[in-house]
Structure 1
Amino acid sequence: MVRPSKYSPEFRSDVIALWRASAGRRTFKDVAADLNVNPETLRTWVRDAEGRPADGGASQGPEDELARLRAENARLVKAEKEWHLEREILRRAAANFAREMK
């Protein structure tokens, strides 16, 4: 039987929001120490809020991984096309400014 949590759902959501606001600047250990919470408890709350499995994603099946990789590939292809378009616009603008300077 699971022991009921001594932390309220409101407290958990506030702690998760605080962690997200300070992510990149402070560690789980720092934030947890300020709030008198175990760092692993905080890490579990954040992981659960993000919908990731506890083992870091290793429990996904091959189909899930393939779908994730295909989505990532599509995102990268789109980003590359946008990058090429931006580069072409900048190349044309530089050529235009060079013509005006002559």
Structure 2
Amino acid sequence: MARPYPREFRDDVVRVARNREDGVTIEQIAADFGVHPMTLRKWIRQADIDDGAIPGKTTNEPAELRELRRRNRLLEQENEVLRRAAAYACRPVAARARLRRARPSRGWARQLRRSRPA
């Protein structure tokens, strides 16, 4: 598994690679910092994308996309709850009355209290 490098370290290595003198290769800079040359090339490419020099997904986009998807799921759940509540509220009165009659009511408890001797 790849070793995670701190953000500051990556930024420093990319800055050194961008400001290198003539004749100094990416491979030499990568060896000096102890990273693989392809890793350094990827960091430089990602830094160019983040700076807007080349098109592509910025570093923050995947996290932002995850957050937006999570928010979308939450809103869809809230919408479903409201849709069900609206469907219940829009039923005809007779249908709601049937549901009330199907459940034991307080009238049942009152009848028990009345039947008990005081």
Greater gyration radius: 2
Q: Give the shorter-chain TM-score range.
A: 0.3 to 0.5
TM (normalized to structure 1)?
0.44
Q: Which has the higher contact order (CA 8 A, sep 6+)?
A: 1
